[in-house]
């Protein structure tokens, strides 16, 4: 999926107030051991490795991570990103995950918008969201559109 970062609704101040009430939002490069454990145990796959190689927005509750979104992870060169990584105007978005206990309050959309703002501030015109699960979420909250479908290498 592709997002046009010129869209104005990606301003940080547009976050729904209740969506991150009680959560600290933190941006940093890489992940701590605690964050790696959270990502591995909650989501699995290669998500912790991807987060460790990129920048991340974290939602923290009482000092513990409850959600995250990675951006500009360019260490893992997945075959489906080859064309997109060659474009200097496209930043990489994801993965994004929110713990099941805090889903449904808008925290995922806050992390997504913060990530899109960060990509825009780095000078990118577009964000590619590869290997998407919930297409409807990204269409609704990010203005993303499907640009290609994965069919295998």
- Given a cut of 60, is residue 19 above it in pLDDT? no
- pLDDT tens digits for range 49-77: 999 999 999 999 999 999 999 999 877 66
Give how many domains the chain has, as a whole number: 1
Per the domain annotation, does 22 fall within a domain?
yes
- Whether residue 49 lies inside any domain: the answer is yes
The residue length of the chain stands at: 153
Q: Distance between CA 42 and CA 23 in Å, rounded?
A: 18
In a domain, 151, yes or no: no
In a domain, 91, yes or no: yes
* C-alpha–C-alpha distance, residues 110 and 129, integer Å: 16
Over residues 2-9, the mean pLDDT reads 84
Is 84 inside a domain boundary? yes
Q: What average pLDDT does the segment 23-36 reach?
A: 95
Instruction: Give me the CATH number covering residue 51.
Output: 3.40.630.30
Global confidence as pTM: 0.89
Tokens of 149: 């479908």
pLDDT at 15: 57
The pLDDT tens digits of the residues spanning 85-131 come to 888 999 999 999 999 999 999 999 999 999 999 999 999 999 999 87
Whether 149 is in a domain gets the answer no
Band the pLDDT of 22: cuts 50, 70, 90: confident
State the residue range of the domain holding 138. Answer: 2-142
Is the separation of the CB atoms in 66 and 59 below 8 Å? yes
Q: What angle do CA 13, 15, 21 make, to 5 degrees?
A: 110
Query: What is the per-residue pLDDT for 73?
Result: 85
Q: Do the domain assignments include residue 124?
A: yes
150 within domain boundaries: no
What DSSP designation does 52 have? H
Q: Is the pLDDT of residue 14 over 70?
A: no
């Amino acid at each position: 999926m592709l997002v046009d970062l010129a869209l104005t609704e990606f301003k940080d101040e547009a976050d729904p107030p209740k969506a991150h009430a009680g959560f600290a939002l933190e941006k940093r490069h890489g992940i701590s051991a605690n964050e790696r454990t959270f990502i591995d145990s909650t989501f699995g796959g290669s998500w912790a490795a991807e987060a460790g190689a990129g920048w991340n927005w974290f939602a923290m509750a009482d000092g513990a991570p409850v959600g995250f979104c990675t951006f500009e992870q360019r260490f893992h060169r997945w075959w489906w990103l080859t064309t997109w990584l060659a474009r200097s105007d496209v930043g990489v978005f994801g993965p994004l995950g929110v713990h099941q206990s805090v889903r449904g309050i808008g925290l995922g959309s806050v992390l997504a918008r913060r990530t899109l703002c960060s990509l825009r501030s780095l000078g990118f015109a577009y964000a590619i969201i590869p290997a998407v699960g919930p297409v409807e979420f990204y269409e609704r909250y990010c203005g993303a559109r499907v640009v290609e479908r994965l069919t295998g290498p």
